[in-house]
A = this chain, B = another copy of it.
């Protein structure tokens, strides 16, 4: 899977941050010409499609500074170094929603912005939900509100753009297919 490979001639890391790094690579293209690639390094993340026994999807509303507004999203969080994605998924679900899951299955992994970032989101499907002992315990700089929505309600949130991110849009389509395959 190295078709049309762009070989790195020179790479410079211009910023190392708390969450992301920025590097600029000079690359040699398949036709021998050169170009510049501006690239973001990100630790990766998990996201959880948590479905209640009534067929409702667990979502959280939170402020997203990048978009200067709040979004309704499926629970998600960054991978900590050395943490297995399954573990992060269980932890984030519990911290953000107060739910634990008896069963966690891998759905898919995908790159969010392959044009400029290496961020990969690992998506899991959580069922057998029950209230966790400790309830929701978010990070000290994290403020979230819990919602439980049917696929139809989720479609309404998409229509008015309160749901407005790729992983949650994916999740709603995935659940629609999941429920229709089941019936």
Contact = CB atoms under 8 A, between A and B. Distances in A.
Interface in A55-92: 61-67, 69-71, 73, 78
Given A33-B140, A65-B37, A117 B115 contact: no
A180 to B, nearest CB: 6
A104 to B, nearest CB: 19
A113 B117 contact: yes
Contacts of A17: 24, 38
Interface residues of A, number: 74
Contacts of A120: 164
B115 A78 contact: yes
Interface string A83-122: 0000000000000000000000000111111111111110
15 contacts: A1-B69, A2-B63, A4-B61, A4-B144, A14-B22, A15-B15, A17-B38, A18-B36, A39-B65, A66-B115, A66-B118, A109-B164, A110-B165, A110-B166, A166-B170
Interface of A: 1-6, 14-15, 17-20, 22, 24-25, 27, 29-31, 33, 35-40, 42, 45, 61-67, 69-71, 73, 78, 108-121, 140-141, 143-145, 158, 161-162, 164-170, 173-174, 176-177, 180
